[in-house]
Structure 1
Amino acid sequence: NAGRITSYTAIGGIVGLLGTTFDFSPAAKGLMTGLAGMFMALFGLKMLGAFALLPRIPLLTPSFLQTARGRIFAKLSVRAPFVIGLLNGFMPCGPLQSMQLYALGTGSFFSGALSMFLFSLGTSPLLLGFGFISRLLPKKLLPAMVKASALMVLGFGVITMGRGGALAGAPLPGKIDGYDQVSLPAGLAEGLTVAAVGGEFQTITTDFGDSGYYFPFVVQAGIPLRWTISVEADGLNGCNNPITVPAYGIKKRLKPGDNVIEFTPKKKGVLVYTCWMGMISSRILVVEAIPGNP
């Protein structure tokens, strides 16, 4: 754990410092998160033995590099737990990548390092407890435990890939209140909030209240949208704030009360709006015409 805490803190500081220089696009953040999810899913499949039937690819590493690698590992064997902890900071892991994106968004070496340090401390009891319990289990239960862990890793990988898609503004196939997102219906879904057109703008208000959750709504293409987000102080937290509309490069930090976002949805389709981590997201259904509107 000492190696893991050291690694997390150092990486948090480095990416926080990068945040002062580079402003990564939503697509870049989505790609990083999606790749992390893909590697998690592949690792989960490997743990389940899904690749056992595939032919093995021989390692083409030159012999002198293999010898050098063996010597280095032999020297590090005494400090193996600490070294493994250091390498933990580079593993593909959804929650870890989310916190690294948060550290990136702080734009500060100190704030990035502090956020990752607190994250590493907060996860230490869980990891220690898991290791302690695994030692108490009978050996005959270990294969089942490995399979359960593999399924969890696979599930987290799939979820993380979905979050990557949300961060990049790519709607995944699915349904909103019974309607297929891939081919929008001619009618409108019942129960969804629909924009009202008046004057130069179409207007809509979404009330997050104290829940902090996002809700889908319907707008018309080609008309400037004035979107008011009403939210209570209890509904704001580090997960759902700020809010982004990746397709239009919009990032809005919400405050208690009414928050206004303006943009023009250009064409029919589905827009994703999401939190900065991609963990909370919803959809904006853009239709060619709303019945009763010009």
Structure 2
Amino acid sequence: MAAKRLTRAWTVEGMTCVNCEARIEKRLSALNGVESVRASYRTGRVEIAFDPGRVSPEDIERALAKAGYPVAADAKPKSSSGAARGLLIAAGLLVFFLVGSRFGLFAFFNAFPEAKEGMGIGMLFVIGLLTSVHCVAMCGGINLSQTVGNSSSGARALRPSILYNLGRVISYTVVGFLVGALGSVVKLSAGVQAAVQLIAGAFMVIMGLNLMNAFPWLRRLTPSMPKFLSRKIAGKREKSNSALYVGLLNGLMPCGPLQAMQLYALSTGSPVKGALAMLMFSLGTVPLMFVLGALGSALSRRSAGRMIAVGAALVAVMGVAMLGNGLGLAGVSIPIAAPRDNVAYASTLEPTAPGATKSPSEGENVQYVTTELSPYGYSPISVQAGVPVQWTIHAEPGALNGCNNRILIREYGIEKPLSAGDNLIEFTPEKAGTFAYTCWMGMIRSSITVVDGPEDAAADAALSASRPPAAETLPPLDVNQIPGCSCCQ
């Protein structure tokens, strides 16, 4: 008589990404009596066909719990106990980002020296360091799958982690080369760059919230690796060099920060620059991923959960920052995040300092603005509507870096490369308002405030007429001439 075959579905907790599907399927398929396993990150459910005579539902539930995916108490996946804490962390980091942007606390990230190709190499490395927390959250399971349980000792114990990260660096660099070569023939407009930044930022926010398991319905909006590819990665462990192959495949995994860096490589328009950008970014992600792999099984489940919670919050905040960059490239001003000090006001007097490279003809009404370029940001300016503007940006050689060396003013269709010395920008504002201008990456943002000149002048004149005349200036008082003040003599 044939054995009875049962198919049952469990709702589990703890699934943080699509890689959990392959881990669950691999772990449960090893149980004697389990015939097939199908896990779904998007629904939080695991469907298992098994022989109840050889394995019981309780055995399956224990195996799930041991793998880090306990069975949920109800039929729907619920937010983990740390979700509220994760959301509080994300909110705190978001406030920190807005306040820091407002007062220039993050300005040092824009001050890295410019490489010969015009690329901030140090900044790319630091971005890799920061996003490596995201790598731990998204790819930490893959990393640990190649290192946990390694019986080697000494230097040989580090071999899987070294091979895995070497594969990632090679993959990232090759992709950067190919994308940079594509950029040499395809020129992305500021609008397209803004759209890509906004889309990538939105997906990063969704990924962060999903990693915190805050809103399970958002899982359906997460881009995922093809099922056959994730299963192949999960299955490549037995061979001695499997970690290298896994690292190579891992470089193709969809990821918000990675896609943003691929956009950067595309914008360089050079295969060499694109490869260099992705190389430095990938090297920045290596230290934390290498340490995670080296620690391997020493990392407790609780510590891993805390790391994922912090990484998830950071991913969400970085997504918000990328959304801000995209809005800046689209010409949308964000007043709460824009510093408002050191505003440069226009003058109708031609400046005598260097910068007025074009003198107005007789009777021509021109307003002049002169600002100094800082390595840390741009100065906001204020001008009048309807009057041509000659804006001179003076840049000292040491003030230029890989971020601030090109200005985009979307409202007036201006893209201006900056060089050492005086840089003249001319435009005529037609309407009042506050308009954003940014660096070419959208990371440095400032604003141009346009006021209605004639109305403001009339208002100022009316206000001045309503004021009492200024008091006559009196000579200084000499206390020695005041009778009765002998104590002061």
Shorter-chain TM-score: which interval? Answer: 0.7 to 0.9
> Which secondary structure state, in structure 2, belongs to the residue aligned with residue 196 of structure 1?
coil
Q: How far apart are the structure 1 equivalents of 2:389 and 2:192? A: 26
Q: Could you tell me how far 1:137 is from its partner in structure 2?
A: 4.1
Residue of structure 1 in register with 2:348 after alignment: 197
Which gives a bigger RCO, structure 1 or 2 (Cα 8 Å, sep 6+)? 1
> Which secondary structure state, in structure 2, belongs to the residue aligned with residue 228 of structure 1?
strand
Q: Residues 215 and 136 of structure 1: is their aligned pair in 2 closer, same or farther, counting only changes over 3 Å? A: farther
Residue of structure 1 in register with 2:255 after alignment: 92
Cα deviations across residues 123-145 of structure 1 (Å, max 9, x unaligned)?
Answer: 32243235446754433333222
| Structure showing greater Rg | 2
Residue of structure 2 in register with 1:265 after alignment: 429
Residue of structure 2 in register with 1:249 after alignment: 413
Q: Could you tell me how far 1:37 is from its partner in structure 2?
A: 0.9
Q: How far apart are the structure 2 equivalents of 1:35 and 1:2? A: 29
Cα deviations across residues 195-222 of structure 1 (Å, max 9, x unaligned)?
Answer: 113534221011124x342121111222
Q: How far apart are the structure 1 equivalents of 2:302 and 2:333? A: 43
Q: How far apart are the structure 2 equivalents of 1:228 and 1:247? A: 18
Contact 1:223 1:264 in 2 (8 A): yes
2:324 to 162, 171, 174: 162
Residue of structure 2 in register with 1:127 after alignment: 289
Contact 1:222 1:264 in 2 (8 A): yes
Q: Residues 200 and 105 of structure 1: is their aligned pair in 2 closer, same or farther, counting only changes over 3 Å? A: farther
1:107 to 269, 288, 303: 269
Q: Residues 7 and 217 of structure 1: is their aligned pair in 2 closer, same or farther, counting only changes over 3 Å? A: same
User: Which amino acid counterpart does residue 192 of structure 1 have in structure 2?
Assistant: V
Residue of structure 1 in register with 2:444 after alignment: 280
Q: How far apart are the structure 2 equivalents of 1:43 and 1:122? A: 21
Q: Residues 197 and 30 of structure 1: is their aligned pair in 2 closer, same or farther, counting only changes over 3 Å? A: same
User: Which amino acid counterpart does residue 128 of structure 1 have in structure 2?
Assistant: F
User: Which amino acid counterpart does residue 367 of structure 2 have in structure 1?
Assistant: Q
Q: Residues 212 and 29 of structure 1: is their aligned pair in 2 closer, same or farther, counting only changes over 3 Å? A: same
Moved more, 190-199 or 26-35: 190-199
Q: How far apart are the structure 2 equivalents of 1:127 and 1:71? A: 19
Residue of structure 2 in register with 1:60 after alignment: none
Superposition RMSD in Å: 3.2
Q: How far apart are the structure 1 equivalents of 2:389 and 2:339? A: 23
> Which secondary structure state, in structure 1, belongs to the residue aligned with residue 317 of structure 2?
helix
Q: How far apart are the structure 2 equivalents of 1:119 and 1:174? A: 30
User: Which amino acid counterpart does residue 114 of structure 1 have in structure 2?
Assistant: L
Q: Could you tell me how far 1:279 is from its partner in structure 2?
A: 1.1
1:29-48 alignment, distance < 5 Å:
29-48=193-212
Q: How far apart are the structure 2 equivalents of 1:70 and 1:82? A: 12
Q: Could you tell me how far 1:17 is from its partner in structure 2?
A: 2.0
Q: How far apart are the structure 1 equivalents of 2:425 and 2:296? A: 50
Q: Which ranges in structure 2 are unaligned for 5 or more consecutive residues? A: 1-164, 221-225, 350-363, 459-489
Residue of structure 1 in register with 2:304 after alignment: 142
| TM-score after normalising by structure 2 | 0.49
Moved more, 114-123 or 21-30: 114-123
1:5 to 169, 172, 180: 169
Cα deviations across residues 78-108 of structure 1 (Å, max 9, x unaligned)?
Answer: 44763455343553334x4454343223322
Cα deviations across residues 148-178 of structure 1 (Å, max 9, x unaligned)?
Answer: 1111111111111111111221223526567
Residue of structure 1 in register with 2:462 after alignment: none
Q: Which ranges in structure 1 are unaligned for 5 or more consecutive residues? A: 58-64, 179-189
Between Structure 1 and Structure 2, how many residues are aligned? 271
User: Which amino acid counterpart does residue 158 of structure 1 have in structure 2?
Assistant: V
> Which secondary structure state, in structure 1, belongs to the residue aligned with residue 333 of structure 2?
coil
Q: How far apart are the structure 1 equivalents of 2:246 and 2:373? A: 45
More strand by share: 1
Contact 2:180 2:269 in 1 (8 A): yes
Contact 1:218 1:285 in 2 (8 A): yes
Cα deviations across residues 51-88 of structure 1 (Å, max 9, x unaligned)?
Answer: 23x4997xxxxxxx97xx38973896344763455343
2:236 to 51, 73, 77: 77
> Which secondary structure state, in structure 2, belongs to the residue aligned with residue 278 of structure 1?
coil
Q: How far apart are the structure 2 equivalents of 1:287 and 1:265? A: 9
Q: How far apart are the structure 1 equivalents of 2:271 and 2:233? A: 34
Residue of structure 1 in register with 2:185 after alignment: 21
Contact 1:4 1:82 in 2 (8 A): no
1:118 to 277, 280, 299: 280
